[in-house]
Structure 1
């Protein structure tokens, strides 16, 4: 869910949208658990979803709070269009308002929401401290700000896989993380500390361990395929020739070693959520 970069077009953008849709499908129960846990004082009527992507958080929030309307904000026109199409298909178009915006630039008028949700979006911002202050100023009195972050992109393979190149996925992650370190310096930040500096009080914090296996085998396989394709594109010039060859065998959907044929796939990661309110001063 990427709220700051200019809208992209072509295969890379479509691939990102596909990953977001698969993420929503595979992690739906965990997202619902987070929305159920949120320590709201009362059910909100106005919600803002910052960096909404294709709508994973938006629709979870609409389900959790049936009397609410969500303003969904993202820089990608394709993501917002997908979200609008889903809202229409589900009969929820009147409860969703999409807003295109670069949240590292001038913020649009987002009203005075009782709940602001930012899932996997804060670390994409060039100046998250500015965004945190913006949220603090727009929240309604007593409103809640929920920041949700993954502990990196999920892992799918056992440590000993594949059999001819054990540890391949770990090396792919290390290569990808190294390439992204300069572009995403706030990934893995202590958002509790940043919230406090920006004038919030953290009301609650929770870390959820995610491990989703064969019960969602088809979706997990597609998620792994899409994610590893994206990782290959990011790290191809860093990985060894042997690792690239092994990765290509996994990504060959017609091959005997295709990742879609593996029965040992699982989605493994952690999600941490910080729920904060504007600090009382004076």
Structure 2
């Protein structure tokens, strides 16, 4: 997360990935925060909280999209931001300092697939955006979250419905439908490596002892003309997908994708004026009774 991931490295648990594997992902997470910021804010406003939280934990915080949305929404709260990547946490700390909220942020580097988690206190709210599906043992992680929360505390799970789409269906002219074929290849690969992506977290939350108090799906459709960041976001996401599914594409599709990703070429995605960000985000709000 929040977060358009190609699931090569991820920010919820490390699984031995080296820091250089994070190259490019941090920028995508930053763009994700910028482009989807309005929708993230709407989710924080929707949460069925009984009182304003004082201590919040952001699990798999990435570079801070959720952390800063939560700090904005709850000005009297502080956030413990947890991630496996030292690079992501450093970027988050730099942003906190730039925004003047460093006193309200604590960072913790941890692999959430470890048997034991660091002491995170007893937060009133735990937020996990695009991180839970990375867990090798989500049932165990959910029970740990349940036991970490203060009684009456809320757990918010936010997930994207796959990678965002950006191109019209008839694009590019020489290979119409290219993006759908790219996503189909990425979905097949990720079904092998990330089996919990797209899961219904409601029953798993109930099984872990939570009471699910709300579920909401938000449709995202952002015109590229609203933000020049959309072109960079599309380039970053498709570049990450390219890196893991190039061998699964036809030569013709691979050539067309390479042309879109050639930022100095005439067919660069950055030169298009018909981009949109299209995806869905689902949020589950679950309480520890």
Normalised by the shorter chain, which TM-score bucket?
over 0.9
Out of 205-214 and 53-62, give the one that drifted further: 205-214
State the SS of the aligned residue for 2:43: helix
Structure 1: runs of 5 or more not aligned: none
Report if the CA contact (8 A) 2:225-2:273 is conserved. Answer: no
Counterpart residue number, 1:69: 78
Match of 1:21 among 30, 40, 43: 30
Residue 214 of structure 1: how far off its partner (Å)? 2.9
Q: How does 1:1-282 map to 2 (within 5 A)?
A: 1=1, 2-5=11-14, 6-10=16-20, 12-105=21-114, 106-279=116-289
Distance (Å, rounded) in 1 between the aligned partners of 2:166 and 2:256? 15
Contact 1:3 1:51 in 2 (8 A): yes
The Cα shift of 1:14 comes to 2.1
Kept in 2: contact 1:26–1:216 (CA 8 A): no
For residues 215 and 46 of structure 1, what CA distance do their matches in structure 2 show?
A: 38
Tell whether the 8 Å contact from 1:7 to 1:76 is kept in structure 2 after alignment.
Answer: no
The DSSP-based 3-state class of the residue aligned with 1:229 is: helix
CA shift, 1:176, in A, is 1.2
Please, which runs of 5 or more residues in structure 2 have no aligned partner? 2-10
> Cα distance, 1:228 vs. partner?
0.6
- Give, in angstroms, the shift of residue 275 of structure 1: 0.4
Alignment deviations for residues 192-239 of structure 1 (CA, whole Å, 9 cap, x no partner): 111011111111111000001134331000000001111111100000
Distance 1:198 1:162 in 2: 46
Kept in 2: contact 1:205–1:275 (CA 8 A): yes
Asked whether the 8 Å contact 2:224–2:231 carries over to 1, the reply is no
Q: Is the 8 A contact 1:7 1:75 kept in 2?
A: no
3-state SS of 1:99 partner: strand
Q: What is the SS of the residue equivalent to 2:232?
A: helix
Separation of aligned partners in 1, 2:77 and 2:66: 13
Instruction: Give the secondary-structure state (helix, strand or coil) at the position aligned to 1:159.
Output: coil
The two structures, once aligned, show a CA RMSD in angstroms of 1.0
Report the CA distance between 1:182 and its aligned residue: 1.9
| Contact 1:124–1:187 (Cα < 8 Å) also in 2 | yes
Once residues 196 and 106 of structure 2 are traced to their aligned partners in structure 1, the CA distance between those partners, rounded to angstroms, is 28
